[in-house]
Amino acid sequence: MKKIIPRLLVFFIGLPLIFGMVFLLPQYHHLAFNLLVVIFSALGAVEFSALLAQKKLTISRIEAAILGTLPPLTMILIANLNLSDMLLSAVIAAVVSWLLVSRIFYRGDMPDNFLNRLAAGFAVLLYPGMLIAWLVRISHWEKNASIIILIFLVVVFFTDGVAWVTGMLFGKGNQGIIPISPHKSIAGFIGGAIASIVIGAGAALFYPEVFVPRFHSIVGIPSVAGALLGLLTGIAAVFGDLGESAIKRSSGLKDSGSIIPGRGGVLDSIDSIVLAAPVYYFIFSLLFVQP
């Protein structure tokens, strides 16, 4: 019951608020939604830094928040100020340079901890910030960005939800296939995969003006291309969840944080989104005409 109630609250309150933000506030390339992404990325980076600290890979929370903020925030600036995509590469280069030289003249325990801090800085820059920045990148498309973002969120959240329900109902006796997350079941994976395929195919059929296939082969059939987009995005979401589970297991902590009652931390809630965002962006770009 402790896990069911938070999931229901997210489903009936959290998701409608996010979906409403995407549809009702599309101004400035979905600035409101993207700022929410930035906030979650910063909080997730702080939580990730706490997990890294369990292995003596230490960086301050303020630095972690800044590093987690920079990639998605840079994407927002690129879209709204019509700047070159090279800005992101320049920001990454500047951050890496700063991490390399910022402690050169530090007289504390620098020789012992320099490499640990450097590794922690690289880690929180990439995860979740650099990966989730691709969700912001979708809003750069001039047309139908709201629909494309919505379908991504529906695939990720409903795949997770259906996998959880089918795992609860039919998962007894087929659990333990993934050592890092022994409660995951074959039934849950199958249920989630079916949900992602149905959502992807349905989206392509329901929004033919948005999901226009690039090819004339079998993947040029809208429902097939949509099903493939949904399936690959759903698989990435599952691996995102498993990857974060591996991080927590390695750190020795059960949850990434406690900011969300009953669910753990922010990173526990966005782990699927983080890995699925770049997959969704690139598969959509490959299979469909960019808006």
Give tens-digit pLDDT for 6-54: 555 566 677 788 888 999 999 999 999 999 999 999 999 999 999 999 9
What does the pLDDT read at residue 174? 84
Q: Which of 170-174, 224-228, 280-284 has the lowest mean pLDDT?
A: 170-174
What does the pLDDT read at residue 61? 94
39 burial via Cβ count (<10 Å: 0-12, 13-18, 19+): middle
Q: What backbone torsions phi and psi does residue 260 show, to the nearest 5 degrees? A: -110, 105
- Which phi-psi region, left, alpha or beta, contains residue 60 (left: φ > 0; alpha: ψ -120 to 50)? beta
- Does pTM top 0.85 for this prediction? yes
pLDDT by residue (tens digit) across 233-273?
999 999 999 999 899 988 888 877 667 655 678 898 899 99
Over range 193-202, report the average pLDDT: 97
What does the pLDDT read at residue 41? 97
Q: Is the predicted pLDDT of residue 103 greater than 90, yes or no?
A: no
What does the pLDDT read at residue 11? 62
Structure tokens at 143: 């047309």
What does the pLDDT read at residue 262? 56
Model confidence at 110, in pLDDT bands (50, 70, 90)? low
Over range 79-92, report the average pLDDT: 93
Q: Is the predicted pLDDT of residue 111 greater than 90, yes or no?
A: no
Q: Is the predicted pLDDT of residue 3 greater than 60, yes or no?
A: no
Structure tokens at 25: 């506030």
Mean pLDDT of all residues belonging to the chain:
89
User: What residue spans of the chain are helical by DSSP H?
Assistant: 4-9, 15-24, 27-53, 61-80, 86-101, 110-124, 131-138, 145-170, 186-206, 222-251, 266-287
Residue 108 C-alpha from the chain's centroid: 36
Q: Show the 3-state SS of 228-285.
A: HHHHHHHHHHHHHHHHHHHHHHHHCCCCCCCCECCCECHHHHHHHHHHHHHHHHHHHH
